[in-house]
Structure 1
Amino acid sequence: MALKKSYSKDKKTCNVTFSVSPEAAQGAKTVTIAGDFNSWSSTETPLKKGKDGSFSVKLSLEAGKEYQFRYLLDGSRWENDWAADKYIPAPFSSTDNSVVIC
């Protein structure tokens, strides 16, 4: 898993590519991302599957903020990003959420 960031010229937008490696996907057929940026929708933001079995999506987020998120594999298994900027306890479960800092 990986996070790749780039910023707009005016530094107001942070373009983040969220990636799930084939190893992390563990044979998943679908991967979506849910987080602060999409009202924690488990269906709104699917990742595109690459030929190598990895999944990725590029999102434009407001710079200067932190966003919590998690990946949902095959609609049933939640995973954190192994390369998140940090982790914080999830408010409604005993697990942590991944955080990307823009």
Structure 2
Amino acid sequence: MLERQKLKGRTQVTFVLPGETPPGPVSVVGDFNHWNPHAHPLTLRGDGTRAATIALPAHSTHAFRYLAAGDYWFNDDMADHHDGTNSHLHT
């Protein structure tokens, strides 16, 4: 799930997943962090979900995926669209 908050000249995007699905550590990777799996790990929130928040330029489009333990890559079903490989979001 994606949560968005419009800010002056940018959009704060929070990538949210259930706390236990998939098990183990998960990171959000995309063109905004040069596909670096160490840049934005999801951390546990008080409501039991895991999340990572990133400020992105307003009016831009970004490709991303999630990377879980065991080299398990997956997309976000709630993304703005999918191209067959990646999820995409519009800010």
Regarding TM over 0.5, the answer is: yes
Measure, in 2, the Cα distance between the counterparts of 1:51 and 1:62. 28
What do the CA deviations read for 1:17-54 (whole angstroms, capped 9, x no partner)?
1001246x23x120101101000111211110235652
Measure, in 2, the Cα distance between the counterparts of 1:57 and 1:44. 10
Kindly name which structure, 1 or 2, has the bigger radius of gyration based on alpha carbons: 1
Match of 1:49 in 2: 44
Task: Give the number of aligned pairs.
Answer: 91
Percentage identity across paired residues of the two chains: 32
> Is the counterpart of residue 74 in structure 1 residue 74 in structure 2?
no
Measured at CA, do residues 58 and 100 of structure 1 come closer, stay the same or move farther in structure 2, by a change above 3 Å? same
TM-score of the superposed pair, with normalisation by structure 2: 0.89
The Cα of 1:55 is off from its aligned counterpart by 1.2
Aligned AA for 1:14?
T
Match of 1:101 in 2: 90
TM-score of the superposed pair, with normalisation by structure 1: 0.80
The Cα of 1:61 is off from its aligned counterpart by 0.3
- Runs of 5+ consecutive residues of structure 2 not aligned to the other structure: none
> Is the counterpart of residue 18 in structure 1 residue 15 in structure 2?
yes
Measure, in 2, the Cα distance between the counterparts of 1:18 and 1:34. 10
- Runs of 5+ consecutive residues of structure 1 not aligned to the other structure: 90-95
Aligned AA for 1:60?
A
Measured at CA, do residues 52 and 7 of structure 1 come closer, stay the same or move farther in structure 2, by a change above 3 Å? closer
Matched residue of 1:37: which SS? helix
Root-mean-square deviation over aligned CA pairs:
1.6
Q: Structure 1: which 4+ aligned runs deviate by more than 3 Å? A: 50-53
